[in-house]
Amino acid sequence: MEPEGVRHRMVEVAKGVRLHVAEVGPENGPVVLLVHGFPDLWYGWRHQMVALAARGFRAVAPDMRGYGDSDVPPSAGSYSIFHLVGDLVALIADLAQPQVFVVGHDWGALVAWQLCLLRPDLVRALVNLSVAYHPRSSEGSPLQVVRALCGEDHYMCRFQSCK
C-alpha cells in the first residue's frame, strides 16, 4: 500500500532517458535522496520517506534507469557508473537544491559513493546501508574481484551473459 501524500513525476535526466521519481514532504524542505539497490524500486523506501517527511525533509526516491517506471536504455553501455551518477546529478539539478543528503542501499550504495567522489559539491552528507566501501582495486575489474572473493555462485557472477 502506497503511503499518503507521495507525489510521482518523470524527470528527464539525459537525452531520451527519464526517471520515475516518488517524493513526499515539503517542497522547500532539505532533500534526502534515496538510492535503491538491486532488485528494488522507490517503493522499498516508502516507510523511510514518510518518517523523513514527518521531520520536515523532502524525501526523493527515483527508480534508477532500467528499473520500474523509469526508461530502459537498450544498450548495456548505457548503464556505466558515469551514466548512473549523471542521472543523479541531473535529478539534483531538477530539484533546484545546491546540496542534498544521500542515502544508498545495496547496489545504490555503490552509485552513491561514486556521486560523492565525482561530485562532492552536490552532497551534504552520505549514509550507506548493507555494503562496505571498497575503493578501486588493482586486482582487476570489479567482477574479477568478486569472483576471486566469492566464487562463481555469487549473484553478480550468475547474472553475467553466457558466451
**31 CB neighbour count, 10 Å cutoff:** 24
Distance between CA 60 and CA 52 in Å, rounded? 10
pLDDT in tens, 30-73: 999 999 998 899 999 999 999 999 999 999 999 999 999 999 99
Contact status, residue 95 vs residue 60, Cβ threshold 8 Å = yes
Backbone angles phi, psi at 161, to 5 degrees: -70, 140
Q: What is the pTM of this model?
A: 0.88
Could you list the pLDDT tens digit for every one of the 163 residues in the chain? 778 899 999 999 999 999 999 999 999 999 999 999 988 999 999 999 999 999 999 999 999 999 999 999 999 899 999 999 999 999 999 999 999 999 999 989 999 999 999 999 999 999 999 887 777 777 777 778 778 888 888 877 777 764 4
| pLDDT at residue number 63 | 98
**Would you state the cell numbers that stand for residue 52, as one nine-digit string?**
523523513
Which domains, from first to last, does the chain contain? 7-132 (3.40.50.1820), 134-163 (no CATH)
Contact status, residue 122 vs residue 100, Cβ threshold 8 Å = yes
